[in-house]
């Protein structure tokens, strides 16, 4: 991805309507989408009654990140968030930085499963940090990576 293409990707991501509404800023986006850092400002709209970050804002930003990275790395497959868990360790009293890294060992596992089963459901771990670098919330996100047109059976 060229610098111009990367700049366009950053602009599109910042203008993605849910991110735009939350005033998200892209701090870092590697050309291969394996490393992403996003700033979630503690704006008036993002504050809960205690004056700290509303958990719904944190969930809304965390939700698509891993699936977007998988979509970029596996463009011939559909990718979506299957399960998202957030462990709120401490109150979000400042702007928050979401830090996502795509581990190479997880990438190898995904590629093996896609070759063998044409599907994979990896779980990514990433986190939110306060402005001083203190961890604020841990995220576990399972992403469904499937062949186009995949149909799951009925919900149990």
**Res. 8: pLDDT tops 50:** yes
pLDDT, the chain, mean: 92
Assign 155 a pLDDT band (cuts: 50, 70, 90): low
Assign 10 a pLDDT band (cuts: 50, 70, 90): confident
Decide: 129 and 136 in contact? Cβ < 8 Å: yes
- Main-chain phi, psi angles of 116, to 5 degrees: -80, -40
Separation CA 39–CA 24 (nearest Å):
6
Of the candidates 56, 10, 18, 16, the residue with the CA atom closest to the CA atom of residue 37 = 10
pLDDT in tens, 103-116: 999 999 999 999 99
Q: Residue 153: what pLDDT?
A: 66
3-state secondary structure 99-129: EEECCHHHHHHHHHHHHHHCEECCEEEEEEE
Q: Residue 149: what pLDDT?
A: 78
**Res. 56: pLDDT tops 60:** yes
**Res. 7: pLDDT tops 80:** no
Q: Domain 3-146, what fold? A: Thiol Ester Dehydrase; Chain A (3.10.129)
How many CB atoms are located within 10 Å of the residue 81 CB?
18
R_g over Cα of the chain: 16
pLDDT in tens, 23-53: 999 999 999 999 999 999 999 999 999 999 9
Q: Which residues contact 100 (CB under 8 A, 6 or more apart)?
A: 35, 36, 37, 38, 65, 66, 69, 124, 126
Q: Which residues contact 8 (CB under 8 A, 6 or more apart)?
A: none
- Give pTM, 2 decimals: 0.89
If you count DSSP H runs as helices and E runs as strands, how many of each does the chain have, helices first?
A: 4, 7
For the chain, the domains span 3-146
């Amino acid at each position: 991805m060229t610098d111009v293409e990367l700049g366009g990707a950053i602009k599109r991501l910042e203008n993605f309507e849910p991110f735009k509404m939350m005033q998200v800023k892209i701090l870092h986006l590697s050309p291969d989408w394996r490393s992403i850092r996003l700033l979630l400002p503690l704006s008036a709209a993002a504050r809960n009654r205690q004056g700290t970050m509303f958990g719904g804002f944190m969930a809304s930003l965390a939700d698509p990140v891993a699936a977007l990275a998988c979509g970029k790395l596996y463009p011939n497959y559909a990718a979506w968030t299957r399960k998202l868990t957030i462990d709120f360790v401490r109150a979000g009293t400042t702007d928050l930085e979401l830090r996502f890294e795509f581990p190479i060992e997880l990438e190898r596992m995904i590629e093996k499963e896609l070759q063998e089963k044409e599907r994979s459901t990896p779980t990514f771990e990433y986190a939110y940090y306060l402005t001083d670098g203190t961890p604020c919330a841990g995220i576990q996100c399972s992403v469904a990576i499937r062949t186009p047109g995949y149909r799951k059976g009925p919900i149990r």
